[in-house]
Structure 1
Amino acid sequence: MSTTQHFCARESLALGDPLAGSAAHAERNLLLSWPRPKWQRSLRQASDMCGEVSAKLEAIAEAGRRVNLIHRRDQPSARHCLYLMPENRRFEVTRDELSAFLAALERNEPLAHWEVSPPDGALLLCCTHGKKDKCCAKFGYAAYKALNTAVAESGLPFEVWESTHLGGCRLAASAVVFPALRKYGRIGNEDALLLLESEMADRPYLPCYRGDSRLSPVQQCAQVAALEWLASRSIHADVSVAQPSNEQASNQGWITIDWRCASDTGRLTVRCESRTIQRYDTCADLAAGSSSASQVWMATQVMVTGSGVLHS
């Protein structure tokens, strides 16, 4: 009998499943610290939550704010750290007061009683949700340790937390940076410090970048392609992604990107083509042999507007 373990993340990489275009994530978030050993398969439920807290978290999620559980060893189990994003607000709440806090949040009442100073720097969540997918336990926890160690050893201004499911188990190790809302995948130990240094410069780390979560998949694909095109020319720029000017352009994947740096500005047009791949989204799918046909986007051309194709 074979003892070889199979992981959806390795299958995804071997298939050529792209990172770009996979960064969907809700903009409004509630992050709640809770000891990882108590996490359930649901991204917002724990085995020792009282029914009232559990129900309020479900109601908050139903109202449109994504809820994730997060964990760090130094956080007391009976005292919870909570974050509201993109507001970048932080709160400290005892277990006894948690239901009252969540009720106030639901009713849009003042939360000043529990509020503490906001984070000094960016918040970085790394998915280690092993009860959801074994790739997140294997690859996610290794990436979390590498990121946390790099922050500690270099004194970098980040808070790194373990997190429940962030989406895209097949892309583990997965992470999201708040409040920038940039998503990453396939983070290896060798990427940790480089990713953090890029984020400190307010630039996405392109080797692991999935895209800006505020954009559609095709826009994310175009954004990443434009940033790579610029970086290959040693241009580190802010980019703005335009909506396709008409339905035909949208269907053909033509996306306009405006860029600006300290010394120059420009415009690129990126063509992204839709492709269908047969993939396993999770390790459970892989074990069951139930792959699914999925649409992905691939950038095939980057043009300087009015100057012809310079890269494809």
Structure 2
Amino acid sequence: MLGSASPTRGYLLVEEPGPWGPGGVPTSRLGEETTAALKGVAASIGAKLLLVRRPGASVLRTPGARGDERVLMRVSVRRGRERVITRTCAADDVVAAAGAGRGWADLDTTDGGPLLVCTHGRKDWCCARRGRPLAAALAELAPTRVWECSHLGGDRFAANLLSLPTGWTYGRVDVSDAPAVVAGTAAGRVVPQLLRGRSCDAMVVQAADVLVRQEQGRQDAADLVPVSATREGEDAGAPWRVVFSAAEGGQLAVRVRQRHVDSPQRLTCGAAEEQHARTWELLGASPA
């Protein structure tokens, strides 16, 4: 899972409670024209588009008080600029509302912020089979924080979870991990053994960050800030040296190397053939 969070500066979240279709960003009931327009809005703000819904809301809402309303969220995951702004709008007005410069309000994330669990079964069945039980377990503990979401990437790591506004991405999260994730994120901590990476970082930085956290038992979500990443050679197998500013003071140099996993495996749950995946290994960490 190391270094496998899809890099992005932020997210555009659009509530769509009905069933989701196939594809990385499903058209669902929104229709192709609306979906394409929302992708354009997301691209214009440097964000990744995700559909979201409350756990269990995979059927059509009946007309009523909120039946025609949708929640929208814009999220920045950049270090020092972490923020979630939100608004509600009519279901047929999501494109205009998503692109509007006014009407947004800051979401209070002092409780840890939104937790998104990928349950996009039409993209890959693993996500629904493993994600829905996790979303339900998390919602029992923190109902206002939890959303199901469309494709996060890394289907074979299901259940996948995204913690906002930090952008920390988790994989292979089990129902039994729900209490640790809820409590940890609420306290500004991570669960190192479940981390894939932080989505605001390049993949090599993600890998170095997670590996040194696992090696040293670092749980503070903000205790390492990347300074530089350089390759120690020209060939494809050359190690990388990633330097972080550490919360305790000074800098930490982390050396990592990418390699192929020895045995082939299916790279998605629905894949017909096995391939050689790649992973990262820690070569060392020392004061810079």
* Larger radius of gyration between Structure 1 and Structure 2: 1
Distance 1:44 1:111 in 2: 26
- Give the aligned partner of residue 132 of structure 1: 123
Pair 1:84–1:251, CA change in 2 (3 A)? same
> Shift of residue 258 of structure 1?
2.9
1:41-79 Cα offsets, whole Å, 9 max, x none, are: 124334322454233123335544311110115784421
- Give the aligned partner of residue 296 of structure 1: 279
**Does 1:240 pair with 2:221?**
no
> Shift of residue 194 of structure 1?
0.7
TM-score (norm 1): 0.76
- Give the aligned partner of residue 145 of structure 1: 136
Distance 1:30 1:237 in 2: 23
Taking the TM superposition and a 5 Å limit, the aligned residue runs for 1:107-118 are 109-112=100-103, 115-116=104-105, 118=107
1:1-25 Cα offsets, whole Å, 9 max, x none, are: xxxxxxxxxxxxxxxxxx2211223
Instruction: Select 2:73's aligned residue among 83, 108, 124.
Output: 83
| Deviation larger for 44-53 or 133-142 | 44-53
Distance 1:247 1:300 in 2: 12
1:190-224 Cα offsets, whole Å, 9 max, x none, are: 21111121112212211211121122222212111
Distance 2:9 2:211 in 1: 23
Pair 1:110–1:236, CA change in 2 (3 A)? closer
Pair 1:235–1:24, CA change in 2 (3 A)? closer
Query: Residue type matched to 2:69 in 1?
Result: R
> Shift of residue 96 of structure 1?
3.0
Q: Secondary structure at the match of 2:28?
A: coil
- Give the aligned partner of residue 79 of structure 2: none
Query: Residue type matched to 1:273 in 2?
Result: R
**Does 1:53 pair with 2:34?**
yes
> Shift of residue 81 of structure 1?
0.5
Instruction: Select 2:245's aligned residue among 245, 258, 274.
Output: 258
| Deviation larger for 173-182 or 296-305 | 296-305
1:217-255 Cα offsets, whole Å, 9 max, x none, are: 2221211122223327x9997112231356539932222
Contact 1:40 1:131 in 2 (8 A): yes
Pair 1:94–1:231, CA change in 2 (3 A)? same
- Give the aligned partner of residue 26 of structure 1: 8
Pair 1:300–1:77, CA change in 2 (3 A)? farther
Query: Residue type matched to 1:92 in 2?
Result: T
Contact 1:43 1:67 in 2 (8 A): no
Aligned residue-pair number? 267
Distance 1:252 1:43 in 2: 32
Contact 2:134 2:174 in 1 (8 A): yes
- Give the aligned partner of residue 254 of structure 2: 270
Larger helix fraction of residues: 1
- Give the aligned partner of residue 96 of structure 1: 92
Distance 2:182 2:274 in 1: 34
1:67-109 Cα offsets, whole Å, 9 max, x none, are: 111011578442110101114110101123234324xx1xxx4
**Does 1:66 pair with 2:48?**
yes
Query: Residue type matched to 2:202 in 1?
Result: S
Contact 2:123 2:151 in 1 (8 A): yes
- Provide the identity percentage: 26
Contact 1:92 1:116 in 2 (8 A): no
Distance 1:59 1:237 in 2: 31
Runs (5+) with no aligned partner, structure 2 = 77-82
Q: Secondary structure at the match of 2:173?
A: coil
TM-score (norm 2): 0.82
